[in-house]
């Protein structure tokens, strides 16, 4: 016999975009199986609830997972009566109280029941099982500590699964300190400019715009100038400023969009839609909820906060252009704002995402955790019709018929997998990408020093000679000889090549094993 939330979903024909992960069944013994992201829990007969709304919903609150999209859709379908009846029967019961609280919080409607006057305050969410706001808001009517990390207009859910808890144990500061100890003091600050440019270039590569040299430089400037320094990065003014920095101040349609938006790809025959963004009229409320999350979770795990803010933003997709770059900007912005990394140090997370097929595929899979079931739910709800020019100047023929229904999904995304992926990217970025750049810098500086022992010269000339000799397979090219006539002397040229080559080919650098280096 099936029980719990899935029973209520079936009974009331609740069609979810984000499926319930847990199915509960009354059997003979208690056992749990997880496969493909689904959990099947079996319970002995003594766990069987009463076969009504209160029985199944209480069972779900006790033994299953909080699923705000399901709650909101269910409450809209059944109305207040079953909850009012339950609250009158058990006015001080914690599960009736939590259900009454969830109903009023999600719907904005007041139940026709008296305030609760006795009983200890209980948490809306378990802080051991979910990412919650740091300081709960007391709801006296229900004697509930409202620790939900957003608003009814936008409240992401992050489950503290064992893999999430393990991933969040990674200490960014400690890992960065290890880099400094390995490669020398201030190595991060000395690589800051290059890492910022690397992040910008890789971010454009993700957007398949790697040849946009001017825009890459502009975005690098935006990263360096604004990361961790904007008082409210999710305000309209801040987003518009960042967007203008990325696209240029003469770009068309800066600011929050006022037109339909979808993510897809064009083919010769038609556009393929991968994700549909919320209606422009709902953007302010969604961003306000995301901003509430930012404020409410300050002091919580920085990586989790960075993941939610970045992926929450990209699903809201509030701009006509630049959403992806701002989405990845928010990761670094949050980490700096939380002092998880030093001010001025940019983690090239986009470079990690593009560094391998595994990370790039993982990025796409992570985005699809939300977008793919969303599109399955609304596969027949969009079409292309007559071309219309919207207020922001965007011409579009895209039509989506289910904006109101889809709000249940957009408002309450489960971003657990997004936290896992972000944690993995951040750790790899520091352990691999930044360590590699630090090694290159140390080697390059040693090559400069050894070259100057042969011929004294400015750094700019030394850098050019080092790059040329390395790229030409340890040979002085004719072009280099023309630029530096002293290299026409074969003896000088041999000493210069040996000085450069030995810097790259010594057995170890600061105790690190020999390897091939890319400039």
Tell me which residue of 299, 304, 295, 291 sits closest to 426, measured CA to CA. Answer: 304
| Residue 333, domain extent | 162-426
Per-residue pLDDT tens digits for 329-370: 999 999 999 999 998 888 999 989 998 999 999 999 999 999
Let me know whether 448 and 309 are in one domain. Answer: no
Tell me which residue of 309, 414, 308 sits closest to 67, measured CA to CA. Answer: 414
Let me know whether 95 and 184 are in one domain. Answer: no
Let me know whether 344 and 383 are in one domain. Answer: yes
Domain for residue 383, yes or no? yes
Domain harbouring 301, CATH code: 1.10.3290
Let me know whether 417 and 443 are in one domain. Answer: no
Per-residue pLDDT tens digits for 215-230: 788 888 888 888 999 8
Considering Cα of 498, then 504, then 505, then 507, what sign does the dihedral take?
A: positive
- How large is the average pLDDT for residues 230-248? 87
Domain for residue 144, yes or no? no
Task: Tell me which of 147 and 509 has the higher pLDDT.
Answer: 147
Q: Using CA atoms, how far apart are residues 449 and 414, in angstroms rounded to an integer?
A: 53
Residue 423: phi and psi, rounded to 5, are -60, -40
Let me know whether 195 and 302 are in one domain. Answer: yes
Domain for residue 99, yes or no? yes
- Point out the least confidently predicted range of 83-92, 199-208, 314-323: 199-208
Query: Six-digit token pair at 445?
Result: 């500086």
Per-residue pLDDT at 210 exceeds 70: no
Question: Can you tell me whether residue 77 is helix, strand or coil?
Answer: helix
- How large is the average pLDDT for residues 136-157? 98
DSSP code for 63: H
Let me know whether 91 and 28 are in one domain. Answer: yes
Whole-prediction pTM = 0.90
Contact 99, 61 (CB under 8 A): yes
- Point out the least confidently predicted range of 76-85, 151-160, 215-224, 481-490: 215-224
Q: Using CA atoms, how far apart are residues 428 and 434, in angstroms rounded to an integer?
A: 9
Query: Given 368, 394, 426, which residue is the final one in a domain?
Result: 426
Place of tokens 């959403």: 323
Per-residue pLDDT at 194 exceeds 80: no
Q: Using CA atoms, how far apart are residues 441 and 466, in angstroms rounded to an integer?
A: 13
Per-residue confidence at 511, pLDDT binned at 50, 70, 90? Answer: very low
Domain for residue 153, yes or no? no
Strand runs (DSSP E) across 156-244, as ranges?
none
Query: Given 426, 450, 473, which residue is the final one in a domain?
Result: 426
Identify the pLDDT of residue 212: 66
Per-residue pLDDT at 377 exceeds 60: yes
- C-alpha pair distances (Å), 94 with each of 6, 139, 215, 260: 21, 13, 55, 43
Identify the pLDDT of residue 267: 67
Let me know whether 410 and 481 are in one domain. Answer: no
Per-residue confidence at 71, pLDDT binned at 50, 70, 90? Answer: very high
Identify the pLDDT of residue 244: 86
CA end-to-end span of the chain: 64
Q: Using CA atoms, how far apart are residues 479 and 346, in angstroms rounded to an integer?
A: 36
- C-alpha pair distances (Å), 13 with each of 16, 64, 290: 9, 19, 30
Let me know whether 382 and 270 are in one domain. Answer: yes
Per-residue pLDDT tens digits for 6-34: 999 999 999 999 999 999 999 999 999 99
Q: Using CA atoms, how far apart are residues 143 and 103, in angstroms rounded to an integer?
A: 14
**How many distinct structural domains can be found in the chain?**
3
Strand partners, 34: 39
Per-residue pLDDT at 197 exceeds 90: no
Q: Using CA atoms, how far apart are residues 486 and 474, in angstroms rounded to an integer?
A: 17
Identify the pLDDT of residue 98: 98
Identify the pLDDT of residue 211: 60
Side-chain-side CA neighbours of 518 within 13 Å: the count stands at: 3
| Radius of gyration of the chain from its Cα atoms, rounded to whole angstroms | 28
Per-residue pLDDT at 266 exceeds 90: no
Query: Six-digit token pair at 224?
Result: 């360096």
- C-alpha pair distances (Å), 223 with each of 197, 256, 316: 9, 20, 21
Domain for residue 285, yes or no? yes
Contact 132, 125 (CB under 8 A): yes
Let me know whether 61 and 116 are in one domain. Answer: yes
Let me know whether 244 and 298 are in one domain. Answer: yes
Domain for residue 143, yes or no? no
Task: Tell me which of 19 and 517 has the higher pLDDT.
Answer: 19
The 10 Å Cβ neighbour count of residue 4 is 27
Per-residue confidence at 293, pLDDT binned at 50, 70, 90? Answer: very high
Percent of the chain residues past pLDDT 90, beyond the cut: 74
The 10 Å Cβ neighbour count of residue 30 is 11
Domain for residue 129, yes or no? no
Let me know whether 75 and 192 are in one domain. Answer: no
Per-residue pLDDT tens digits for 471-486: 999 999 999 999 999 9
Identify the pLDDT of residue 512: 45
- All residues at 6 or more sequence positions from 464 whose CB lies less than 8 Å from its CB, including other chains: 480, 483
Mean pLDDT of all residues in the chain?
Answer: 91
- How large is the average pLDDT for residues 164-191? 86
Let me know whether 256 and 279 are in one domain. Answer: yes
Per-residue pLDDT tens digits for 46-55: 999 999 999 9
Q: Is 43 exposed, middle or buried (CB count within 10 Å of its CB: 0-12, 13-18, 19+)?
A: buried
Query: Given 98, 123, 148, which residue is the final one in a domain?
Result: 123
Domain for residue 102, yes or no? yes
Q: Using CA atoms, how far apart are residues 369 and 189, in angstroms rounded to an integer?
A: 36
């Amino acid at each position: 016999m099936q029980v719990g939330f899935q029973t209520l979903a079936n009974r009331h024909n609740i069609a979810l975009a984000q499926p319930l992960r847990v199915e509960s069944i009354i059997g003979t013994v208690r056992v749990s199986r997880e496969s493909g992201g689904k959990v099947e829990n079996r319970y002995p007969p003594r766990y069987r609830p009463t076969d009504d709304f209160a029985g199944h919903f209480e069972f779900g609150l006790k033994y299953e997972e909080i699923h705000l999209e399901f709650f909101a859709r269910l409450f809209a379908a059944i109305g207040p009566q079953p909850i009012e009846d339950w609250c009158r029967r058990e006015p001080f019961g914690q599960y009736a109280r939590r259900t009454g609280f969830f109903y009023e919080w999600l719907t904005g409607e007041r139940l026709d029941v008296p305030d609760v006057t006795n009983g200890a305050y209980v948490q809306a969410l378990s802080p051991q099982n979910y990412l919650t706001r740091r300081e709960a808001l007391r709801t006296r009517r229900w004697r509930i500590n409202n620790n939900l990390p957003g608003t009814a207009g936008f409240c992401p859910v992050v489950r503290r699964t064992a893999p999430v808890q393990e991933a969040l144990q990674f200490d960014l500061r400690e890992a960065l300190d290890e880099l400094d100890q390995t490669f020398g003091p201030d190595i991060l600050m000395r690589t800051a400019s290059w890492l910022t440019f690397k992040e910008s270039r890789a971010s454009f590569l993700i957007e398949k715009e790697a040849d946009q040299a001017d825009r890459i430089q502009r975005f690098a400037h935006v990263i360096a100038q604004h990361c961790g320094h904007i008082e409210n990065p999710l305000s309209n003014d801040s987003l518009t400023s960042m967007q203008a920095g990325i696209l240029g101040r003469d770009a068309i349609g800066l600011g929050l969009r006022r037109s339909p938006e979808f993510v897809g790809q064009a083919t010769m025959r038609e556009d393929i839609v991968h994700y549909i963004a919320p209606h422009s009229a709902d953007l302010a409320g969604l961003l306000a909820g995301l901003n509430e999350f930012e404020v409410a979770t300050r002091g919580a795990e920085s990586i989790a906060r960075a993941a939610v803010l970045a992926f929450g933003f990209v699903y809201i997709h509030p701009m006509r252009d630049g959403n992806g770059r701002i989405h990845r900007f928010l990761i670094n912005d949050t980490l700096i704002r939380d002092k998880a990394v030093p001010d001025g140090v940019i983690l090239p997370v986009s470079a990690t995402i593009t560094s391998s097929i595994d990370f790039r595929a993982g990025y796409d899979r992570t985005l699809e955790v939300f977008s793919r079931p969303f599109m399955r739910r609304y596969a027949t709800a969009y079409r292309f019709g007559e071309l219309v020019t919207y207020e922001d100047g965007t011409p579009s023929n895209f039509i989506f018929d289910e904006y109101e229904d889809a709000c249940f999904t957009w408002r309450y995304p489960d971003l657990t997998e997004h936290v896992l992926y972000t944690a993995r990217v951040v750790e790899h970025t520091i352990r691999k990408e930044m360590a590699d750049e630090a090694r290159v810098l140390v080697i390059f500086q040693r090559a400069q020093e050894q070259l100057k022992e042969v011929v004294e010269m400015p750094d700019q000339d030394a850098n050019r000679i080092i790059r040329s000799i390395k790229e030409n397979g340890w040979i002085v090219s004719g072009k280099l000889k023309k630029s530096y006539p002293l290299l026409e002397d074969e003896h000088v040229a041999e000493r210069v090549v040996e000085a450069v080559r030995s810097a790259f080919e010594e057995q170890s650098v600061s105790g690190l094993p020999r390897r091939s280096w890319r400039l």
